[in-house]
Structures are given as C-alpha cells and as structure tokens.
Amino acid sequence: MLSLYRNQLKGVQKKVLLIGSGLMAEAVIDQLLKRNDNFVVVASAHVEDARKVIQNKQRCSAHHLDVTETEELRKFVQNSDIVIAYIPPQFIVGIAKICAEVGRSMITSQYTFPEIRALEQECKKKGIIILNEIGLDPGIDHLATVKVKDEVYAKGGKIIEYESWCGGVPSPEFCDNPFGYKFSWSPFAAIRNINNDAKYLENGVQKYIPASELLYSTEIIHVNPSLQMEGYPNRDSLPYQELYGLKDCQKLVRGTLRYQGHCVLMAAMKALGFASEDLIKVDREMSWFEYLLSNVRFESCSSKYLGNHHITQLANTIDQKVFTLAQLETLLTKVFNRVFSQYYYKDKSEEQQYKDAEQIVQTLKWMGVFDPKNLILNNVAHVHNFAAHLQTLMNYKQGETDLVAMQHIFKIVYPNDPRVYVKKSTMVKIGHRNGKSAMAITVGVPTAVATQLILDGVIKVTGVHMPNISEINTPLYEELKKEGIYCEEEDY
C-alpha cells in the first residue's frame, strides 16, 4: 500500500497527509485541491469513509492507517511534506511526537495539549511548526479576538471586558426536535462536553462552575436582531487572558451557544444519569423504559416537588398500551424527584416546575423511552449510550442546513476619555443545501488555508503555536476573508 502511495506522489511538489476522514475532512481536501501543486493523501482507520470523501476528486488517494501502529504512521509522515491531524484528541499527541521526530509540520484544530507544548524546542531545532487550535472554535475566534486587541492597543486603549461565544445548531427551518440541536460533529464529543467544569473571570474575580451546575448557568446572547441564543461558559477561560494579552480585563469568558431551551432539557437528561461516564452492565436486553426506571436511583415513590395530580396528568399523556398508569406514575415521580432536586429549581414555583416537566415528558416520548422496542447498549458508558441513541434521531437529513454563530463582545476604554466603547465582532454562516455544512466549512477551510500558508513559506515561525501572534494571524485572516470567513465588526 505504501509503495502505491509513493508512486502516486512521484513528481508532486506538495504532499499533504490528512489523518482522518470525518465530517470536516472534505472541506479541507477541497480547499487544498484548489491548488494544482497539492496532492492529498487521506489516511484513516475507516478506509471506506476515506474513499468516499475523495470520490470523484483528482490528485488525492485514500489509505488505511491505524495511528497506534507507530512504524506505519512514521512511514506515512516521512513520505509527506506536511501533516493535518483530524482525529480524536487522544491520538493527537502521538502523531505530534512523530512529526517532531521526523521533522514535518503539523496542523490540527484540537486544543494545545501540555505534551505538545513540550515539543517546542524539538520543533524549533527541526525548523517546523505544530499549529494547534485552527478551526472554528478554537480557531477563527482567536483570529477575530487578536485582531481587535491589536488595533485597540495600537491606539493606546484597554479592553476591560471580553466575551466570546460560539455554537453550531440547525438552521431555524430545520430545528425540529426538542433539543433544538443536530450533530454536525462527533455526537459523543458534543454530549461529553456537558461534563466539563468551567472557569472564567467576573469583576476581576475567578469564578468556578462545577459540571453539575454548568447547564443551569446560562445567559441570553443577542447575536443579531433576529437571533437570540443562550450561552453557557465553556471549560477554562482563564488561560486566555495571558494567551490573548488581555492584561486589563476584569471580565473574560468563552462560552457555547445553543437555541433557548436546550440547556434546561439537556440538564434534565444529565440529572437522570444519561451523561454519566460509568459503564452500563446488564445481564439481558433492556428497554429504555427499564433502563430509566433502574438508572434513576431516587427511591422515593411519592412526589416531593410536583403534586400527585400533576404526575397523573403527565402520565396520561403517554400511551398506556404497554405500561400501566401506575408504572408510568412511578417512573415520572422518580424522574421529577431527581430533576427538581437540582439547585436550579430551589426557588422555582410548582407552576414553573410543571412547565418544565411537560417539556421533559415530551422529550422522553420523542426519544422513544416509552417504546419497549428501543433497547439500550450494553458494556458502554451511559454517555456513549445516550449519544448513540440521539445520533439516530438528531442527524441532518438530505437537504437540511446548519447554522454557525460566533460573537465576541469587547468593552474598551481609552486614555482621557470617560466613555466605555462596545465593539461586537460577529459571524453567522449557513451551510449549503445538499452540500457542505457551515460547521465543516468554518472548521475545515481555516485548517486548509493555514496548511497552505505554511507550505508556501508565508508562515515562517517554528515551534508550537496557536493562532495568537501576528506572524500567523495576519496572513491567515487576509486569506480567510477572501473565502468569506471572518467576523464583521460593529461599534456601539
């Protein structure tokens, strides 16, 4: 296989190794193939996916590659001019180490791991760059933020507050499920993200939100006059004060955007244990109803939060051909005792709780929880079972489009001027009907453009980097603007 790979590359000037064949891969390939001197080798553990993604394309090939087979990986890297790593984060460090050893630059949209930072000196000695965090978020967010920061600082100003929000959701006309969400990237990674704690800066004080409270910690973000979303903090925002050079910031938060109502529903699913990392172990086939009944360990069979008449009303909305009213009442009592025991509901009225309860029951019905034919997976984590089930319900259908929204909000002051200026930097993109998703375009094109700039010698810096310095950001921003991928700025 590798000899065929060498033959295909014979005489080709630029050889790009793309490791991975997932949802973002095609956007990367198509962008790179705009240049006739590029040849793209797609290497993947799922070789059929790789073949599919290069179908009807010139100057590219598909190959099987198990990245845990170190020697085979090394051969692929050695026979390339540059490497793009588009695979799950647990494999990125191993690829980066081989790239540093062999002397090949590497680009990835993943966050910068400490083990990769440790390769800084080796990369400099080899004259290569490992460029991390170059996609949408992280990626375009860095470019937009550093651009505004540099302009403000050049005028002697200070940024005293900074917010960065980003999310991918279905276009409004295709938002047809209770969660208001569909998967344009890894379902498992998307669901697992709700298990992260969050840290950010508020009024100069570091704030911490445990994962158990994350989805209840939302605020309304006015992206534009026709688009209001809810946002919640994403992981640890604190390092970005130094990474962006925002030394004067009293507020600094990076967060995730979703349609309003998503977070309370997803928080309820989390309270029911669906996002747990614990392993499911059952000795027989089990329906979702049985799974939920056994997984919710709140033993009380009398409602602590909703009146019994409410429980009965909700149970009567569910088809009772399979389960009796008493069984349904027992399950719903346990469900709502668990959900409404969360701190978020401690000051909520019974009327507000009932309104949310109606939404939760509708969501469980939509998920097929009350259909005994729907079986859970065994010997997998609860979160994997949940993600796999939602993937069958929340994928994009042919002809549907997605929407990517990104917004940065800056509060700025200047010397001898008492006013506080507000600048918003916003990007909203809609995917192509029967074509690439907005998520794939806004992740894949920046990765490909950065790769090209490194190949062309425009980006010359070596070492381990993210796009937060002018030597990388300036040419990258200029090229992405030509592709229509940038944030529009507005002063208030």
| CA–CA separation, 378 and 412 (whole Å) | 53
Rounded to 10 degrees, the C-alpha dihedral 353/354/358/361 comes to 70
Q: How many CB atoms lie within 10 A of CB 459?
A: 23
Residues 6+ apart with CB under 8 A from 275: 191, 192, 194, 195, 269, 382, 383, 386
| CA–CA separation, 492 and 482 (whole Å) | 26
| CA–CA separation, 168 and 431 (whole Å) | 10
Find the catalytic residue in 137, 141, 356, 402. 137
| CA–CA separation, 52 and 4 (whole Å) | 19
- How far is C-alpha 224 from the geometric centre of its chain's CA atoms? 22
- Residue 137 is among the residues annotated as catalytic for this protein: yes
Residue pair 163/251 in contact by the 8 Å Cβ criterion: yes
Q: What is the DSSP string of 137-184?
A: TTBHHHHHHHHHHHHHHHTT-EEEEEEEEEEEEE-GGG--STT---BS
| CA–CA separation, 217 and 263 (whole Å) | 9
What pairing do the DSSP bridges indicate for beta strands 14-19 and 38-44?
parallel
Task: Enumerate the active-site residues.
Answer: 137
